[in-house]
Amino acid sequence: KTNLIVNYLPQNMTQEELKSLFGSIGEIESCKLVRDKITGQSLGYGFVNYVEPKDAEKAINTLNGLRLQTKTIKVSYARPSSASIRDANLYVSGLPKTMTQKELEQLFSQYGRIITSRILVDQVTGVSRGVGFIRFDKRIEAEEAIKGLNGQKPPSATEPITVKFANNPSQKTNQAILSQLYHSPNRRYPAPLAQQAQRFRFPPMTIDGMTSLAGINIPGHAGTGWCIFVYNLAPDADESILWQMFGPFGAVTNVKVIRDFNTNKCKGFGFVTMTNYDEAAMAIASLNGYRLGDRVLQVSFKTNKTHK
């Protein structure tokens, strides 16, 4: 009972800052901020191990719910890692826009202990995007929740919701794509970020015809994040593949696949909005020219040209 997990840390918080914050409570044996193995970006959580159990308990009572920058941190006892708790993260879509995070947790809590949950909201309007994530304590609980809720209508909903694993193990192709992406040797970053971004940047495409059809107008930087244009997606591409591809690089606030009005198939392109410029540049440097299935993706910042 001395080892704590700290979730929802601000993206730019360092291990030293984490250590000094928790060191103010009592003597720390070890402290680790978890970072992406390849990009070195903070993943927004860490572990703090105290010498005395009473200090760990005090840290939970004192620091859980503390607001740091725009985040409210969550401090709880860490669990030993084992196969039974891996991959217990669910992706939920089709939620009523009025549903709160608390209501989402109430809906899912009948299936087990929820570790974290969130509903994605539009940065500008604050309105829910109807998409959320739920992480259970154990994989078996997540499986039960899928059985119980996938395709069902929650109390206040008019449409059924979709509940699936966030990194869907059944989508072998997605998994293969992603593991290849994050572990292939030519994806290491020897050059400084700015150079990297320069080297991979291709002339941004003009997409006038397409954009006006879709009725969207998102400049490259909308004040709420950096908009990335992803071109050459397959007709069956959906939002979840964009979440999975861009999520590991940093905070993604929105993804959108542009679909044909009549067939509902992807028209070959989509948009991803990321909060942080460096993370967006890193994602572009890594994913531009990347082969997804049998297609080579073109990924760039969306141009600032205003579309009629």
Show me where the domains of the chain are located: 3-77, 86-168, 226-301
| 124 vs 251, higher pLDDT | 251
Selection from 108, 93, 94, 96 nearest residue 157 by Cα: 96
pLDDT digits (tens, 9 = 90+) for 243-270: 888 887 878 888 899 998 888 889 999 9
What value does the mean pLDDT of the chain take? 77
Using pLDDT thresholds of 50, 70 and 90, give the confidence band for residue 204: very low
Judged by average pLDDT, the poorest of 98-102, 154-158, 202-206 is: 202-206
pLDDT digits (tens, 9 = 90+) for 277-294: 878 888 888 888 888 777
E strand intervals along the chain: 3-7, 28-35, 42-50, 67-68, 71-72, 74-77, 89-93, 114-121, 128-136, 162-165, 226-231, 252-259, 266-274, 291-292, 295-296, 298-301
Using pLDDT thresholds of 50, 70 and 90, give the confidence band for residue 123: low
Residue 137's pLDDT is what?
79
CATH topology of 3-77 equal to that of 86-168? yes
In the chain, % of residues over pLDDT 70: 76
How far apart CA 87 and CA 295 sit, in angstroms, is 28
CATH code of the region 226-301 = 3.30.70.330
Averaged pLDDT, 133-159: 88
Superfamily of domain 3-77: RRM (RNA recognition motif) domain (3.30.70.330)
In the block, tokens 């992803």 appear at 230
Selection from 220, 223, 222 nearest residue 299 by Cα: 220
Residue 201 neighbours by CB distance under 10 Å: 15
Judged by average pLDDT, the poorest of 39-53, 117-131, 162-176, 258-272 is: 162-176
In the chain, % of residues over pLDDT 90: 26
| 290 vs 202, higher pLDDT | 290
How far apart CA 273 and CA 129 sit, in angstroms, is 13
Using pLDDT thresholds of 50, 70 and 90, give the confidence band for residue 147: very high
Residue 203 neighbours by CB distance under 10 Å: 7
- Strand order of the β-sheet with 42-50 is 28-35, 42-50, 3-7, 74-77
In the block, tokens 């901020």 appear at 33
**What single-letter amino acid sits at 78?**
A
The answer on pLDDT for 110 being more than 80 is yes
Using pLDDT thresholds of 50, 70 and 90, give the confidence band for residue 131: confident
Q: Are 228 and 299 in contact (CB under 8 A)?
A: yes
CA angle 21, 81, 17 (to 5 degrees): 15
Burial (CB < 10 A; 0-12, 13-18, 19+), residue 277, is middle
pLDDT digits (tens, 9 = 90+) for 212-223: 233 333 444 445
The answer on pLDDT for 148 being more than 50 is yes
How far apart CA 133 and CA 267 sit, in angstroms, is 27
Q: Under 8 Å CB-to-CB from 179, ≥6 apart: which residues?
A: none
Q: Which CATH number fits domain 86-168: 3.40.50.1000, 3.40.50.970, 2.40.50.100, 3.30.70.330?
A: 3.30.70.330
Candidate ranges 65-69, 90-94, 134-138; pick with highest mean pLDDT = 90-94
Judged by average pLDDT, the poorest of 131-140, 170-179, 262-271 is: 170-179
pTM: 0.38
Judged by average pLDDT, the poorest of 48-52, 77-81, 124-128, 298-302 is: 77-81
The answer on pLDDT for 64 being more than 70 is yes
| 39 vs 169, higher pLDDT | 39
